[in-house]
A and B are shown apart, each in its own frame.
Chain A
Amino acid sequence: MNQDQPTCHSASPEPSPSETFVAFTAGLWKQNPVFVMVLGMCPTLAITNSVRNAIAMGLATTFVMASANAFISMVRKLVPKQVRIATYISMIATSVTIVDYLVKAISIPVYKALGPFIPLIVSNCLTLERAESYAGKNPIGKSILDGLGMGLGFTFALTCLGTVREVLGAGTFLGFPLFGSNFEPWVLFLLPPGGFITLAMWLLTFTLWRERSDKRKRAREAALEKPVEIAS
């Protein structure tokens, strides 16, 4: 992949080897693929009009990422530079095909609900991004953890969106009615614009939250600095 591409959402510095745990947690929160890196937008918007589908999609993606990361990490030392992307893509496509069949075998209704978005995990930029920037450089254990972490972070984000959309749009959560049958649903949230709006709201919330915590952190640092100044 081209290094100077316009939307290079490259991740923050790699976690150091001693912090294997970080490989897992980063994706959940600090480098959340949806809220922070803004990757994998298509399923995020398309498959979140119910919590059930959101979770299913998230787990399918998690599986692909963990297994693709595992394959790639295994062969990373053998693959010459020229065919790196081709190899990665084949491996991801393999994982996806496997998931495709597995979901079909588990539940046809879920498979129908996810529509074309399972095969499309192949071209989900998140998958390739992690393959390139993490699994291609790290040992297998950590790569799997990274895939799992990122995948679960993705699942978490999808669930966040799915919850808002399902609760407001249908008045239910995971299919259970929350407000009784007289609730007036806001159909909009189940429709395409609702996807955009919900994601915008979540991003705004995150920006607000981050700004607040930044401010608090700065305040704390300032408070810490003062006594040092006095001492010197």
Chain B
Amino acid sequence: MNESLSHIFVDALLINNFVLCVFLGMCSFIGLSGKFSTAWRMGVSVMFVIIVSSILSYGTNLVLVRFHAEYLRIITYIVIIAATVQLTEMFIKKTSPALFRAMGVYLPLITTNCAVLAVPLFQTSRNYSFVQSVVFAIAASGGYTIAIVTLSLVRERVELSDVPSLAKGTALTLVLAAILSMAFMGFAGMGNGG
């Protein structure tokens, strides 16, 4: 498909939001959305890693296709992601210890975040061009960030309420996610209606 860039962007950001509509990166979405400060750091880290690894995977895929070694895709993509995470961690540690203290714990978690691996897989299977891939990576990771940050703030507000003890915990978070996901259904069909 020759999708327009704006359509790719809106689609990955809102209509098919990675978290709320496609169910990617759920563990961190549920596990790390308790606090706003954690959530936005996770969001930023994920955005960074997704964009970098999307670019690297795009290049790698060209090589794999050239040598007809598509069967190595999964393994190379995960290695790229793990390496990106590792290098980012080392880089931040060297350049800004303060930032490392703030972000350090989140970085290793990104390797096992499905959303990160999904971006290169999707861009390959949809035959996106380089620019399309980058736009897709920005939008998809932005959608992840929007979702986790919104949920974290909603959860912080719910912290101040008198939630019955039985409902506290993951179940409540899931109900909030369900309502958010129902609200995101309003974006369905955006850009190709009427």
Contacts and interface: CB of A to CB of B under 8 A. Distances in A.
B25 A97 contact: no
A46 to B, nearest CB: 4
Interface in A114-140: 116, 119-120, 122-125, 128
A33 to B, nearest CB: 11
Nearest to A90: B75
A199 B82 contact: no
Given A38-B27, A85-B111, A93-B78, 19 more contacts: A4-B105, A7-B32, A7-B109, A40-B27, A96-B74, A116-B121, A120-B24, A120-B117, A123-B78, A124-B112, A124-B114, A191-B185, A192-B22, A193-B185, A196-B178, A196-B181, A204-B166, A207-B169, A211-B166
Interface string B21-47: 111111111111000001000000000
Contacts of B170: 38, 200, 203
Interface of B: 20-32, 38, 71-75, 78-79, 81-82, 105, 108-109, 111-114, 116-118, 121-122, 125, 166-167, 169-172, 174-175, 177-179, 181-182, 185
B33 to A, nearest CB: 10
A180 interface: no
B105 A6 contact: yes
B20 A2 contact: no
Interface residues of A, number: 47
Contact of B31 (A6, A40, A85): A6
Nearest to A200: B174
A128 B112 contact: yes
Given A7-B31, A85-B82, A125 B112 contact: yes
Contacts of B182: 193
